[in-house]
Every structure is written in structure tokens, then in C-alpha cells.
Amino acid sequence: MRSRFLICFLLISNILCAQEKTDYPVYPNPMLIPINLSATFGELRNNAFHAGLDIKTGGRIGEKVYAVADGYVSRIGVSPWGYGNVIYVTHDDGYTSVYAHLDKFNFLIGLYVKKKQMASKSFAQNVFPEKDEIRVSKGDFLGLSGNSGGSGGPHLHFEIRDANQCPINPLFFGIKIKDGVKPVINGIALYPKELSSVNGSDKAAYFNIDSKSGKFNIDDKIKVNGTVFFGISTYDQTDDQYNKNGVYSIELFADNRLIFSILFDKYSYDETRYINSLIDYKKFYNDKIRYVRTEIDEYNILDLYGETSGSVTLQEGQEVEMKYVVKDYYGNTSTAKFTLVGDKPLNEYSDNQYGRAYYRVDGTSEVEVNLDGFTAKIPKKAFYKYEYVLARQLDTVENIASDYAYVLGTEDIPVQKNITIRIRPAEQYAKSDKLYMVSVSEDGNFEAVGGKMVEGMISANVKKFGTYALALDETAPQICPKNFENNTKVIKCKRLKINIYDKESGINKYDIYLNDKWVVGAFDPKNDLLFYEVDEYLKLGNNKMEIVVTDGVGNETRKIYNIIRENPK
């Protein structure tokens, strides 16, 4: 009786699990080409989880993209950054599909967007058509795949969101890929808590794993005293593809007891930056390797976790068998086993004393840092746990427009919320309107942060620690036509290209005028490229093309060219 009950229970559990994964509408693929992925849902990225699937297009721009279900276009975006050209379709079943990094929209959507651009005299758009204003049916052509926005190469970024605009793993909706490959486990980490140790040290210990063998166990026993948390470096691949993608689930067992689990199935955009709390951020900053940690920071609100106890405590003479279980969406599974043995306590532990240059920030209230010519306001819960924040002046940075450069924190501490920094200009620059804030790298290079004058100081919001100073930008942007020159004859050319560049405060505004009428100029910052798609505003005969580019502090460059449009013979 007992065995029959157990069998029935397991059958019911399997059915319920299958329903949980498949209780979604089944959509067709958004493109008619074979579906190969360069990124999966929940994949670990810089400051964010990947919100969908990146579908390869063979390195080509121009594959046709289709609506996966009946609905209406609820949002259209055009941007030099992020998703670039993107379409959101809200379906009659309540879900929303997202098609990003497009090269072109279909004729109807493209015309709609162009009218908005001409009316607002702005290339960038974020518009929300009325419900059913632009209806689409399953299989309707939406546009062509591309490489627009922040894309690192031609592909289609495809998402599914629920009614609350939370991204859901699109594989739930019937998209099929060939995947018989097990995840790879690169390494295991152990993090001793206060007055604890791993292999005779109270520092984090990392154990690299030779993944070529397909076996991910650590053969040598690991000596532990006190309480330790854990981390794992892992990735997944699919059949015949080289990309290192994200995994679907991670579980950790201690003597067959589940102590940690995480499932990459759905999350909220409000949570995405909390990836920096999930991972070992210090290890990632220093070595560019991401370890998923089992310790949950005090202010971490991620909802991806299942079991969260995450730690094991050992005294001398005890022994615990540990096992990581990692799966991809299709159930391909890899395990890593290792044994912990209790060690004797250390005689000495590291001394974590912080001097007067450090501010203790516990997250319970705003903290204001004040130095000569510098302030920083750190809001409540700006970090994921309490941190000690370094603040000091530097007088060794050259070519700056403030009395000092200012070190705030260390770059291996992740920041969740904006920190408002203010820096006073040096006396000789106090009245200049060409000042901007910069982040100074270790080798002395400047990266523009922006900023504006507030009460005699340049103020800017930042989301990372580092060294900050003021700089002076008195150099106007550069404009250099790429495929035309003055008095160029245009016959079959479809796109006029212009390189625009500003090495200091950066490009802020760009405009193209044809015969004194504003026309759409699309900006691709990846390639410092501004381009104009030849349209009805370029008339037969002579046309005056004026290009106006402004940088972050208002320096402006204007250039005028005569463009001659001729009829093709």
C-alpha cells in the first residue's frame, strides 16, 4: 500500500510540474528561420538579468519578424540605446510580446513612427498607441531584424511579458530549440562568515573545476570551521552552438537536504539590478567571473529564490556531503559533489578595522559625505547590505577643473540606487558654462558623467563608485560625411551617412535639416554614425542639407552641404 501511494504521489507531482511549465498558450516562432539562441532568459548580464531570448540571424540584418498571436501594438520605441527599434504587441490572451533591435518597422508602423518623429522633431520615440489603433494578427509581418540600440550584433531580442509587464521565460510558450547538452560547472566558492574559516583561512575560497571531463566533483575534502555560504559558476549551451548561456535552475543540497534553490522563470523589472546582490560582485569586478551566491543580503528583494537558508555550520570532527544540481530548461542536468570536514578554529582572524576616511552606511537612513569641495548623498538602502565607504581627495589627477579629484567608495562594491554627487569647480572655472563631471579610470582616462550647475557646484547622479572630478569641454563635436560630399549627386543612394563624434562631454543632440525643414536623422552611437534615409523631403535638383550637432555642455557644430538629387536613367 505504501509503495503504491508513493507511486501515485510521484505521478501526480510530475503531472503538476508539467502543467506548471506548459500552462501557457503555444505561440509560433517569431521568425521562419531555424531558432538558435545567443542568450537565454534570466542570463546574468551587467546590472541586469536577460529578459528574453536572443535569436541568432546568422550575422545578417533583415530577417522577417512576425507577430506570434492576435493583438494590438501597445508600444513602439526608437532609441540609440537599449532596445533600439522595438515593438510591443499586447495579445488578446493578456500577454505581451516584445521584438527588439529591429532594423526597420513594417510600412504601417514605420509611417506611424515617422509622423511622431516629424511632429516632435526627435529621432528617439517612446509612444503608446491607443488600444486596437494598430491591430495585428498572428503571423503578420512586423519588421526586419537588425542591430539597433545597444545590440552587440545582428539578432532578434524576443520577450514575453505578463499583464503586469513582468518578463516570463519565452520557452514556456512553445518555442523549440535543439538542446541535449548538459550545463557546465566551472567552479565552486565557499564564503566563511565572521570567525569562520575554509582550509585554514577566513577569506573566500574558490575551487576551479576542469569541465572538459564532464565530471564536476571536487575530490579533495574541504576543511571548514564555523558557518560558510556557497557560490557556483555555471553556464549552459545548446546543440552545435558555442554561446555560453544562462541555466534554468540551481539547487544546493547538504546531506541530501535542500538548502538553496533558484529558478529563472519570471521576474519583475524592479528586481533586475539586484543581480549585483545575487552574484559575488567583488569576484566579478576583479576577474569577470560570475558566481551565484547562496547568501541573501539584507536588502535583496529578488523573488527568484526558492529555498534560502544557504549555509552550513561545522565544528571539528563533523562531515557534510554537499551537492549542487544545475539544470537547463529541457531538464539536462549536471551535478557537482564535494565534502566538507570540520576543522579546528583559527588562532587569528583578519582585522577589519576602517580608518577615519570611511563612512559606515547601514541602509537605515540617508548618509551625507562631506569633503572640501565635494558632497555625496547616499540614500537609504543604496546598497544590498551595510558597507564601509571610503571618501578622500586626490591631488594627483591632471587636467581637471576642480581643485581635487574625489574617491568615493571602491568599484567592487555594487550600488543599487542613485547617489547624488556635487563637486565645486576650481576658482578659475567657477563661471564657466562648459563644465561637466567625469569618472576617472585608474590610468587617468575620463568618462563623461554629465551634470548641471546647482548652487555653485556641478551635480550629477551616479550608480557606481569610483573617482570623480570636473573637466572643461571647449571643443565642439566633429562632423564628417561618410558616403557623400558637397555637391554630391544622389541617384540610387538610399542612405546618407555622417560620422559625428565628441571625445569629451559626448553627443547630446543631433539634427538634420533639408531645405530648412527638420528631417529624421537616425543615430547609431556604437559606430558614431548619424544617417538620413532618403525620402520625399530630398527633392529633385539642389538641396541644402544642414547638420547640427551639440555636445553635453552646449558646444555646437553646423555644416551645410549641397545635395543634388537626380532621376535614375
Condensed to tens digits (0 to 9), the pLDDT of residues 521-554 reads 999 999 999 999 999 999 999 999 999 999 999 9
Query: 478-565 domain in CATH 3.40.50.720?
Result: no
Instruction: List the domain boundaries for the chain.
Output: 37-173, 184-342, 358-472, 478-565
**Residues 399 and 429 sit within 8 Å (Cβ to Cβ):** no
Residue 551's pLDDT is: 97
Residue 17's pLDDT is: 37
Q: What is the pTM of this model?
A: 0.92
**Residue 417 CB neighbours (<10 A):** 14
Write the DSSP string, 24-76.
S-----SSSS---EEE-TT-EETTEE--SEEEE-TT-S--EEE-SSSEEEEEE
CA separation, residue 119 to residues 80, 330, 363, 387, 488 (Å): 19, 48, 45, 48, 29
Residue 176's pLDDT is: 86
The segments of the chain whose pLDDT lies below 50 read 1-20
**What number of residues does the chain have?**
569
Residue 50's pLDDT is: 97
Tell me the per-residue pLDDT of 101-142, one tens digit each, with 9 for 90 and over: 999 999 999 999 999 999 999 999 999 999 999 999 999 999
Q: How far is CA 53 from the centre of its chain?
A: 14
Three-class SS of residue 189? strand
Three-class SS of residue 17? helix
Residue 540's pLDDT is: 93
Top CATH class, 358-472: mainly beta
Q: Which fold has domain 37-173?
A: Glucose Permease (Domain IIA) (2.70.70)
Residue 22's pLDDT is: 52
Q: Which residues contact 246 (CB under 8 A, 6 or more apart)?
A: 39, 40, 41, 42, 43, 44, 50, 235, 236, 264
Q: Would the CATH topology of 37-173 be identical to that of 478-565?
A: no
